[in-house]
Each structure stands twice: as structure tokens, then as C-alpha cells.
Amino acid sequence: MIDASQLSRAVLEDALGQIADRLFLDINPVGCPAELRDQDVYNPDKDWDIDDLEFIAGLLRTAGLAPDRLGDQPPRDDPPAASGPHPRCRPAPAGRVAAPRPCDLRSQP
């Protein structure tokens, strides 16, 4: 299992693009306008199933991001903080509002 920081930006962007497509691309969802019928459209309300999880797990295995054995963890430069956001998360620059990242959501109710 490798740390995601060891992968190139292109590899990470490709993997995330494939995950987003798998989770949100849909054909003819409920309420789909006629002009978008019979083609792939991004649907924020698409339901997921076990095949979607298996696809994502396969991508992570291919990239080397899945554990090789029980107890594997990604290598870290420094241990995670006891509380608060993950150490690799950074606040948005002054004057900008950033969308919440998954690690920011841990500390929210």
C-alpha cells in the first residue's frame, strides 16, 4: 500500500474522474428533460450498488492504494493529529471560501 502523494497528478485525476463517472453518470434518471434522454448525464441523486463499490476498490488496488494485508496503513510523514482536520488539509487562502473536504467534515456535527 502506497501513500497517494506518491502518485502523479494525472493518475490521481484519472482515478477520481473514473470514480465520479461511476457514481454519478446515469441514463434517463427520473425527471430527466427530453433533450437529455438516451445519453449519459450526471445525476447527483443516482443510487449506488455493490458493483460500484467493487469498481472503486478495483481502481484503488490498481493504483496501489489498497492494503496488501490485514493491518496495512498508508505510510505517513507525520502521525495524524489527535483531533481536528487531517494534517494534510489546509485552510483556504484568506478571502476565499473553500468547499468542505471529507477531512473537514469529521469535526462537524
Domain that holds residue 69: 4-77
pLDDT at residue 105 above 50?
no
**Residue 9 within any structural domain of the chain:** yes
Cα separation, 56 vs 20, in Å, equals: 10
Total tally of structural domains belonging to the chain: 1
Amino acid letter for position 47: D
Contact between 28 and 17 under an 8 Å Cβ cutoff? The reply is no
Q: pLDDT at position 72, please?
A: 84
pLDDT of residue 94: 53
Global confidence as pTM: 0.62
Average pLDDT of span 91-101: 48
Q: What angle do CA 83, 63, 6 make, to 5 degrees?
A: 60
In a domain? residue 94: no
Q: Does residue 100 lie in a domain region?
A: no
pLDDT per position as a tens digit, 14-73: 999 999 999 999 998 888 899 999 999 999 999 999 999 999 999 999 999 999 888 888
